[in-house]
Amino acid sequence: MLCGVFPQDHYLTQYLRSHALFALIFMLCHVSRSLGEDPVSGSRAKYLILVTLDGVRGDEMFGGMDLETLKASSEGKDVRDQEVYQRFWASTPEERRLNLMPFFWGTLMKQHGFILGHRQKGSIVQLRNRHRFSYPGYAEILTGRARDRIIKSNEKVRNPSPTLLEFLKSEWQLKFQEVAAFASWETMDFIVQQQKGAIYSNAGHQTYISRDPVMRWLSKAQFQTRSPWDSVRHDYYTFTFAMDYVQHRSPRVLYLALGETDDWAHDGRYDRVLQALHQSDQYLRVLWEYYQSRAETKGRTCFVMTTDHGRGGNPYNWMHHNDKLEESQYTWLSVACPGLTRRGELMEHPPVFAEQIAATTAMLMGLNYVEKHPNAGKSIPFLNSVP
Ligand SMILES: [Zn+2]
């Protein structure tokens, strides 16, 4: 922790550097940091936005729309007549992903952050859990552990381990409303916190209470515009309520868990998967621009985005994901944080596991997660340098 209190001011640092005690502690900090578990020194990040996009494959994240998958799911119709083809198709993967996620690839990855998980470029992010479906995936991300024998279904049972969100609340001594989770899938309420009521949570078709009359109207509307799935509401409501909350409550930690991308995939609607991912990208833009527009959060917000599992990798099994389906273990991880200078796709690095995301996120916020949770995966040691 001592390492985090050193001043960032250049002249003061030079002055202090001339003192032997400083030099000794400085050296010790560097030694412990090289072991991979020390917090980022003097992290400027004060706010955290964690986003998950349920079951989004690397294929679409890195390559945009896949033509063979669209053809296979089009029931013989000419793909050229389809809106998604006209909007998202291009001849190169770089152009296609830019068409699909213009904010993510055109702004966020160019100017602010980077992404891991493009396997063709030697970058692997994978699940430690063997189940390869949602609850185990989210639990691994949020607690830093795969607990395969305990977490083995998507049923609404309370997370047996404390989460990163609860850790941040405790470390920063926040009130419950300062750590907020908004999710489209109702089971997320059970996953995001071990202690019910520890943090603010609004998940699935759930009433959202706001001072804003439009939000109160939308909160009612969510029950009258049901999605095709009993346990998942439309992402539009999840995002809109989250934005209202951010504007009125300024939480230090926001977790936004969008879900439609997975559900449309299970239904075999590749066109809707693409539309949902494109829509998610627009949500990210609004969220990011809001945080950058305020003096309090501009340049002090850390953004972390990932997914809970992959899916089958060919045009005939992309709808599914399970313990036996190869490629559904592969995910991706994107980070945009003050102080991290790498941009775009990371390539050729040691494999990363989803169990490392909790400790990595904590490290980016200047905290040591593994110290409190010794069984959790360690933070990724090479985010700011070539491994
Ligand atoms: Zn699924």
Helix (H) / strand (E) element for 363: namely: helix 357-364
Q: CA-based Rg of the chain, rounded to a whole angstrom?
A: 21
What is the pTM for the complete model shown? Answer: 0.89
Token representation of residue 279:
């829509």
Q: Are 142 and 201 in contact (CB under 8 A)?
A: no
Q: Are 50 and 304 in contact (CB under 8 A)?
A: yes
How many degrees, rounded to 5, is the angle at CA 232 between CA 229 and CA 234?
100
**How far apart are alpha carbons 165 and 142 in whole angstroms?**
7
Centroid of ligand 1 to alpha carbon of 234 (angstroms): 15
Centroid of ligand 1 to alpha carbon of 262 (angstroms): 5
Core vs surface per residue 14-40: b (16+ CB within 10 A) or e: eebeeeeeeeeebeebeeebeeebbbb
- Numbered ranges of CATH 3.40.720.10 in the chain: 45-372
Task: Classify residue 161 as exposed, middle or buried by CB count within 10 Å of its CB (0-12, 13-18, 19+).
Answer: middle
Q: Which residue has the tokens 């053809």?
A: 71
Centroid of ligand 1 to alpha carbon of 36 (angstroms): 33
Beta strands in 38-174 (DSSP E): 47-53, 114-116, 125-126
* Secondary structure of residue 188 in the 3-state scheme: helix
pLDDT by residue for the chain (387 residues), tens only, comes to 333 333 333 444 444 444 544 444 444 444 444 344 444 545 679 999 999 999 999 999 999 999 999 999 998 899 999 999 999 999 999 999 999 999 999 999 999 999 999 999 999 999 999 999 999 999 999 999 999 999 999 999 999 999 999 999 999 999 999 999 999 999 999 999 999 999 999 999 999 999 999 999 999 999 999 999 999 999 999 999 999 999 999 999 999 999 999 999 999 999 999 999 999 999 999 999 999 999 999 999 999 999 999 999 999 999 999 999 999 999 999 999 998 999 999 999 999 999 999 999 999 999 999 999 999 999 999 987 654
Q: Which residue has the tokens 């509307």?
A: 221
How would CATH label the architecture of 45-372? 3-Layer(aba) Sandwich (3.40)
**How far apart are alpha carbons 57 and 344 in whole angstroms?**
18
Closest among 330, 301, 373 to 45, alpha carbons compared: 301
The two beta strands, 333-336 and 125-126, are: unpaired
**How far apart are alpha carbons 63 and 133 in whole angstroms?**
23
Task: Classify residue 343 as exposed, middle or buried by CB count within 10 Å of its CB (0-12, 13-18, 19+).
Answer: middle
Closest among 187, 193, 197, 182 to 159, alpha carbons compared: 193
Centroid of ligand 1 to alpha carbon of 8 (angstroms): 45
Centroid of ligand 1 to alpha carbon of 315 (angstroms): 16
Centroid of ligand 1 to alpha carbon of 155 (angstroms): 13
Centroid of ligand 1 to alpha carbon of 4 (angstroms): 40
* Secondary structure of residue 344 in the 3-state scheme: strand
Centroid of ligand 1 to alpha carbon of 54 (angstroms): 7
Q: Which residue has the tokens 């706001």?
A: 210
Centroid of ligand 1 to alpha carbon of 154 (angstroms): 10
Closest among 59, 63, 52, 58 to 90, alpha carbons compared: 63
**How far apart are alpha carbons 180 and 192 in whole angstroms?**
10
